[in-house]
Amino acid sequence: MTQSTASHRHLPNRLDNPFKSIVLSWESLLVLVAIGIFILNSMASPYFLNAWSLSDMTFNFTEKALIALAMALLIISGEIDLSVAAIIALASTLMGLALQYGADTPVLIAIGVGTGIACGAFNGFLVTGLKLPSIVVTIGTMSLFRGISFIILGDQSFKGYPASFSWFGQGYVWWVISFELVLFIGFAVVYWALLQRTNFGRRVYAIGSNETAALFSGVRVARTKFILFCLTGAMSGIAAVLLTARLGSTRPSIAEGWELEAITMVVLGGVSILGGAGSIIGVVLAAFIMGLVTFGLGLLNVPGIVMSIFIGALLIVVIALPILWSMWRQRA
């Protein structure tokens, strides 16, 4: 490299001006978007600013956002799990089956979370043990897990969950603050600390940036990815407990399409679909944005199929936007 080339290279000024880097960050843009959507919703419907309406809004995203927290780490590492919604269906089905044999609330919760961990471990074994592509594996297990639910239930449903169990999906900790929202905030703090303040989080970033380099640097890549799949399964199991408790019933079609919404939250939150970059704060903001959008559309009586079209289009735009931006900068 010549001296003239080096002298004209643009160097980032993040260390000299941290305030500028914060203002120009993706998270700051998400905050502005959230504020804008909040204002539009309040103008579109007189019922939006009601405290109980805002509380009901949180039920639109907390269960999916819990999955997105773990999914974010998995995608940062360069992998993906498309079976999370099917894990919810299987966990809910097994909880309902246990209910028929008289299982009480602690046992139901243990079965839901345990099923999620077992399914995540199965995915992790296939990916890390047999070296299969995660997208292929989880497409297969997506059909496998939900297929088992249909075999057990068919066209039937399980109902009659005890009130102590239903509280986890319908209960409030204080006034309009639901248990689900408190649980989501608590897990968000845990996952933020795990990713940003621990050696495990640094290993996740290293694997996603360059898996080969991380392996030669002494990072146990296979074990780290296996743990991430187990975490994603565990969060899916927790989401299954909350969703089943909120609905009060189990059907094999439960949570259909949730894998798309969870991935959209992660990518909208600034996590690179190629791995190696992203933050939990962005995912939390993206979850609130999607909750605001879907709740606002619901208040306007927009059909569910339109919401599905919007989420699919949003995912495409968010993935394509960085690529288009990079192409524009290169031409400029």
Query: What token pair was written down for 327?
Result: 């192409």
CATH entry, 48-331, from 4.10.860, 3.30.450, 1.10.3470, 1.10.10:
1.10.3470
Contact 84, 139 (CB under 8 A): no
pTM, two decimals, is 0.90
Q: Where are the beta strands (DSSP E) in the chain?
A: 158-159, 172-174, 177-178, 249-250
User: Per-domain residue ranges for the chain?
Assistant: 48-331
| The pLDDT of residue 152 | 93
- For the chain, give the number of residues: 332
Contact 249, 89 (CB under 8 A): no
| The pLDDT of residue 118 | 98
| The pLDDT of residue 9 | 39
SS3 185: helix
Residue that is written with structure tokens 């640097």 in the block: 217
What gap in Å lies between CA 41 and CA 320, rounded to an integer? Answer: 27
| Plot region of 270 (φ>0 → left; ψ -120 to 50 → alpha; else → beta) | left
Contact 138, 83 (CB under 8 A): yes
Q: Which residues are CB-neighbours of 217 under 8 A, at least 6 positions away?
A: 206
In 3D space, the residue among 290, 281, 323 whose CA is nearest the CA of residue 72 turns out to be: 281
Range 144-149 contact pairs with CB under 8 angstroms and sequence separation of 24 or more: 144/83, 144/86, 145/83, 145/86, 145/87, 145/89, 145/90, 145/119, 146/85, 146/86, 146/89, 146/90, 146/252, 148/90, 148/93, 149/86, 149/89, 149/90, 149/92, 149/93, 149/252
For the chain, 332 residues long, give each residue's pLDDT as a single digit of tens.
444 444 343 444 544 566 666 666 788 888 998 999 899 989 988 888 889 988 989 998 999 999 999 999 999 999 999 999 999 999 999 999 999 998 999 999 999 999 999 999 999 999 999 999 999 999 999 999 999 999 999 888 899 999 999 999 999 999 899 999 999 999 999 999 999 999 999 999 999 999 999 999 999 999 999 999 999 999 999 999 999 999 999 999 999 989 999 999 999 999 988 899 999 999 999 999 999 988 888 888 888 788 888 888 888 888 887 777 778 877 86
What gap in Å lies between CA 160 and CA 249, rounded to an integer? Answer: 7
